[in-house]
Amino acid sequence: MSNLAKALKDPVEQAEGTEIKPQYLEALHLVERLHRRLLDVIKDEFERRGRDDVNSVQALLIYNIGDKELTASELRTRGYYLGSNVSYNVKKLVEMGYLHHARSRVDRRSVRISLTEKGRDIHDMVRSLYEKHSRTIQPIGGISDEDFERLNTALNRLERFWTDQIRYRL
């Protein structure tokens, strides 16, 4: 019997006898904490530069839009936005002049958003922060390219696992 078949046969029984449960739970907490910490790092960078006009969630949203033109629903479905109030932040960023907001020529019900020059400045600040991190993470943080390859492989598998849980109602 395959591992998948065994796991699906009685998942509760399998979970009680396995050693992976503590590591899985630790990974869940780390994923949550790391996202919050990333927002803290972005907030700190903006404070160092004397910028308090956008918050870290909005800065990350702007960064993820980049050169693309998207709808608010595309922001959510593509995983570019992790908050529940994307409409609120998009509205605020439009009002503050960081995003263009225009009706789609094809579907007049749909609103397309893209960065203004002011938004590109925020995007560039986050990009430069990430570039600095990519240069310094190995010598200072002790994390190698190989470590990131393994980490990214594991995180992609976890994402696929969670997606399958939803899609196939496992």
CATH number at 80 reads 1.10.10.10
Per-residue pLDDT, 78: 73
pLDDT computed for residue 139 by the predictor: 97
Q: Is the pLDDT of residue 11 over 60?
A: no
Domain-located, residue 73:
yes
| Contact (Cβ atoms closer than 8 angstroms) between residue 96 and residue 64 | no
Number of structural domains, the chain?
Answer: 1
Q: What is the pLDDT of residue 71?
A: 83
Residue 74 placed within a domain: yes
Q: In this predicted model, what pLDDT tens digit does every residue of 87-110 receive, in sequence order?
A: 888 899 999 999 998 877 777 677
pTM of the model: 0.81
Is 158 part of any domain? no
For residue 154, tell me if it sits in a domain: no
| Contact between residue 135 and residue 129 where contact means Cβ atoms under 8 Å apart | no
What pLDDT is stored for residue 136 in this prediction? Answer: 97
**How many residues make up the chain in this entry?**
170
Question: Range of 124's domain?
Answer: 20-137
- 168 is a domain residue: no
Q: Is position 71 within any domain?
A: yes
The answer on pLDDT for 20 being more than 90 is no
15, part of any domain: no
In a domain, 50, yes or no: yes
